[in-house]
Amino acid sequence: MSATPWLTTHYLPVWSSASDNDLLTQGQSRPFIEPLGTLNIPVEAHIYPKQWLEPLTHDFEFTMQCRASQQVFDNSVYLLAATQENSEY
């Protein structure tokens, strides 16, 4: 399941995090991220390498004792705040 077929130049900016230890990164995350640049959709991708300081699993973002998890959380909060400031709502 992917949003790739519905990507257009009107797609909202994308923020993504993943780990190369996760099999879904190669099959889903990277193939989703690649066409974003082609469509000039702003994207910020954080893909942590297999040799990261901590062993990162599929759901590492929810394991707050990991340094990478804390970085993902902090970046998510920043993105949401920036999006809200730039929103028309």
Question: Residue 63: what pLDDT?
Answer: 85
If phi > 0 it is left, if psi is from -120 to 50 it is alpha, else beta; for residue 64 that is: alpha
The whole-angstrom separation of Cα 65 and Cα 40 is 35
Residue 66 has pLDDT above 70, yes or no: yes
The whole-model pTM stands at 0.78
Residue 70 pLDDT level (bands cut at 50, 70, 90): very high
Which residue is it, tokens 């099999």?
A: 23
Q: What is the pLDDT of residues 15-57, one digit of tens each?
A: 899 999 999 999 999 999 999 989 999 999 999 999 999 989 8
- Domain residue ranges of the chain, discontinuous segments joined by +: 16-85
Residue 86 has pLDDT above 80, yes or no: no
